[in-house]
A and B are shown apart, each in its own frame.
Chain A
């Protein structure tokens, strides 16, 4: 089945850019997502990208997709302390139409 991998931790200084990486195995995944989860809370959809796109930018967020390498990244420009959270990469393609999630990357932003 589909496997989604992410690094578990990332630490950056406030004002720097953060880049969170994700790899997946199923090339037929049509939609790829980034979700944010703050402590004790549910998941917030940050952005998504179609598999026929290479890049999508939305304010401070830039998503890059390398379909050949099955690599997805999320870049957060001018990272703020409020961006500290766990970021999940997810891809479509579950057998029930569900999403397949990575284990999440914990982003820590230091002042």
Chain B
């Protein structure tokens, strides 16, 4: 089946540093990738939608200058948390929509646990 990878799986950083998270679709092309954030015992909340070759679309309340998204190719999207603070600590999950399947199937990455000290 289709696989989406995320790297790193876990990161601990000091407050004020920037962290880059990669999301890759390994065996399919994804015109659209979604970035979600999940707080403990909460559901997934959409942060932004990443379309290859164009600017990302951010959900209300998500700072685009803080969460930089780059969708460099049909298989790679990156999320950079700039000047991270403890309140940014969360589980970040990406999903990729299969271009060939007409967007029917969305596959999720394993997630990245970010802890900001």
Answer yes or no: are A and B bound together in one complex: yes
Query: Which residues on A are within 8 Å of B, measured CB to CB?
Result: 31, 35, 40-45, 48, 88, 94, 96-99, 101-104
Chain B residues within an 8 Å CB radius of A45: 105-108
Interface size on B, residues (CB 8 A): 22
19 A-B pairs with CB atoms under 8 Å apart are A40-B113, A41-B111, A42-B6, A42-B109, A43-B95, A43-B108, A45-B108, A88-B43, A94-B46, A96-B32, A96-B34, A96-B46, A96-B49, A97-B49, A99-B34, A101-B43, A102-B43, A103-B42, A103-B43
| CB-nearest residue of chain B to A45 | B107
Q: Does B97 contact A (CB under 8 A)?
A: yes
Q: Does B44 contact A (CB under 8 A)?
A: yes
| CB-nearest residue of chain B to A102 | B43
Contact of B32 among A40, A42, A97 (CB under 8 A): A97
Query: Which residues on B are within 8 Å of A, measured CB to CB?
Result: 6, 32, 34, 42-44, 46, 49, 57, 93, 95, 97, 103-111, 113
